[in-house]
A = this chain, B = another copy of it.
Amino acid sequence: MGKQMTEMLKGTLEGIVLAILSVRPAYGYEITARLRDEGFADIAEGTIYALLVRIEQKGFVDVEKVPSEKGPPRKVYSLNAQGREYLDEFWTTWGFLAERLEQLHTEGGN
């Protein structure tokens, strides 16, 4: 992946995953696959799992272990109230940043 994208994902990837979980619960492998499908081709699996551990420790998600038909049991994550609140803040922060950047982009001309 481009280094630019790597750095840009810092802080936003967490929001992206929370946003995915806000639609419906999901487990790590599934999230990774979905991100790949949606164009984030090179996000490392390890990155997602580490992120999931982090948001669990922060208390943004509830976890349930569900047996899988194929392979080891899945850890299904679902967004809780605290996570939803944090996601709201995320959208606010993102909105501010996106607005500034759009302004800079049109200002700059190209």
Copy count, this protein chain: 2
Q: Is the CB of A19 within 8 A of B97?
A: no
Report the contact-size class of chain A (Cβ under 8 Å from the partner): 35 or more
With beta carbons under 8 angstroms apart, the residue of B14, B90, B96, B107 that contacts A39 is B96
Residues of B within 8 A of A5 (CB): 11, 93, 96-97
Q: Is the CB of A8 within 8 A of B12?
A: yes
Q: Is A108 an interface residue (CB 8 A)?
A: yes
Q: Is A2 an interface residue (CB 8 A)?
A: yes
With beta carbons under 8 angstroms apart, the residue of B39, B97, B101 that contacts A100 is B39
Residues of B within 8 A of A88 (CB): 110
Interface string of A50-89 (1 = CB under 8 A from B): 0000000000000000000000000000000000000011
CA gap between A104 and B20 in the complex, in Å: 7
